[in-house]
């Protein structure tokens, strides 16, 4: 269910603690391990370790302040991202492109013992990193990731606000007989083309969906995929999927952008 309601006219989404916790583990775990191996653990007997730890604590505190200042605010007018570097505002009506991907991440597998400690600290070793970028007509790029609290809700708000007008504009273009381009993918009223390959009629398509982090489009009777590309490489991938389902009855399903994402 896509939510477009706002409490008190706006909703604020702050950064999660997971990034700060993981960063703390990454910075201080090696120091703690070295300190545990010292014959005398007192600071006086280990001045270098103590100085390094104190310096890291100062750096860590500063980084936490910077990370904590990041927030995304949704209102009836648009999206606003606030950080220590400034403010980016994008009105809903000016969003012309959405880039979206979900990337499976196994922290423990990538970073060994430290990674397992980080995974324990953030309570998950297998996570999905969501990245959504909203791009405005004047080139502004506003990105949200899984480091934002209630990321699924935030994603649904953006998609619920932006996709309906983008879809209506795309439908109108197709009705006029125009060819729409989604990066290396082009579609007309009846044909899909991938890069420089010959076009394939919609009737020959078997499936079109986002599987894990990839947009996959399969052709009937073919073992491999006609299209297999990371979903954020395709601008407005959800618009493309919905248009394909509307034009090909065998791909039709109730419109729900996130329903296209199968883990």
Q: Which residues of the chain have pLDDT under 70?
A: 1-9, 106-127, 252-263
Claim to verify: residue 37 and residue 78 sit in the same structural domain: yes
Any bridge partners for residue 214, and if so which?
Answer: 211, 230
- Confidence at residue 260, expressed as pLDDT on a 0 to 100 scale: 58
**Domains: count for the chain:** 2
Which pLDDT score is estimated for 106?
61
| Dihedral angle of Cα 161, 163, 169, 173, to the nearest 10 degrees | 180
pLDDT at 59: 86
Residues 225, 256: one domain? yes
Domain membership of residue 210 (yes or no) is yes
Structural domain that includes position 58:
7-158
Per-residue pLDDT, 44: 73
Residues 248 and 138 in one domain: no
- CA distances for 129 relative to 14, 103, 148, angstroms: 16, 5, 11
For residues 26 and 90, state if they share a domain: yes
Last residue of a domain, one of 129, 158, 187: 158
Indicate whether 2 belongs to any domain: no
**174: in domain:** no
Average pLDDT over the chain, rounded to an integer: 83
- 10 Å Cβ neighbour count for 66? 13
The predicted structure's pLDDT at residue 204: 92
pTM of the model: 0.77
pLDDT of residue 257: 65
167 within a domain of the structure (yes/no): no
Do both 53 and 85 map to the same domain? yes
Q: What is the pLDDT of residue 147?
A: 86
Together in a domain, 187 and 239: yes
- At residue 248, the pLDDT reads 86
Instruction: Answer whether residue 51 is part of any domain.
Output: yes
Do 19 and 112 share a domain, yes or no? yes
Q: Are residues 13 and 104 in the same domain?
A: yes
In the listed set 123, 158, 193, which residue is the last one of a domain according to the structure?
158
């Amino acid at each position: 269910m896509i939510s477009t309601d706002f409490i008190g006219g706006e909703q604020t989404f702050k950064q999660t603690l997971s990034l700060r916790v993981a960063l703390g583990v990454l910075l201080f775990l090696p120091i703690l391990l070295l300190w545990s191996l010292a014959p005398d653990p007192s600071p006086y007997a280990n001045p270098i370790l103590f100085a390094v730890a104190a310096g890291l604590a100062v750096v860590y505190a500063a980084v936490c302040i910077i990370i904590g200042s990041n927030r995304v605010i949704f209102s009836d007018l648009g999206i606003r991202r606030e950080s220590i570097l400034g403010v980016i505002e994008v009105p809903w009506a000016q969003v012309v492109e959405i880039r979206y991907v979900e990337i499976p991440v196994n922290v423990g597998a990538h970073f060994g013992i430290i990674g397992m400690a980080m995974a324990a600290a953030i309570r998950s070793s297998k996570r999905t990193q969501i990245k959504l970028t909203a791009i405005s007509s004047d080139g502004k790029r506003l990105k949200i990731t899984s480091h934002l609290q209630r990321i699924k809700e935030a994603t649904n708000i953006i998609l619920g606000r932006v996709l309906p007008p983008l879809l209506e504009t795309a439908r109108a273009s197709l009705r006029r007989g125009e060819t729409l381009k989604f990066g290396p993918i082009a579609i007309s009223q009846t044909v899909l083309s991938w890069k420089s390959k010959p076009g394939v009629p919609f009737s020959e398509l078997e499936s079109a969906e986002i599987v894990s982090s990839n947009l996959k489009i399969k052709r009937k009777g073919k073992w491999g995929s006609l299209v297999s590309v990371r979903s954020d490489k395709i601008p407005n991938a959800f618009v493309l999927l919905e248009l394909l389902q509307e034009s090909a009855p065998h791909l039709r399903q109730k419109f729900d952008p996130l329903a296209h994402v199968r883990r």
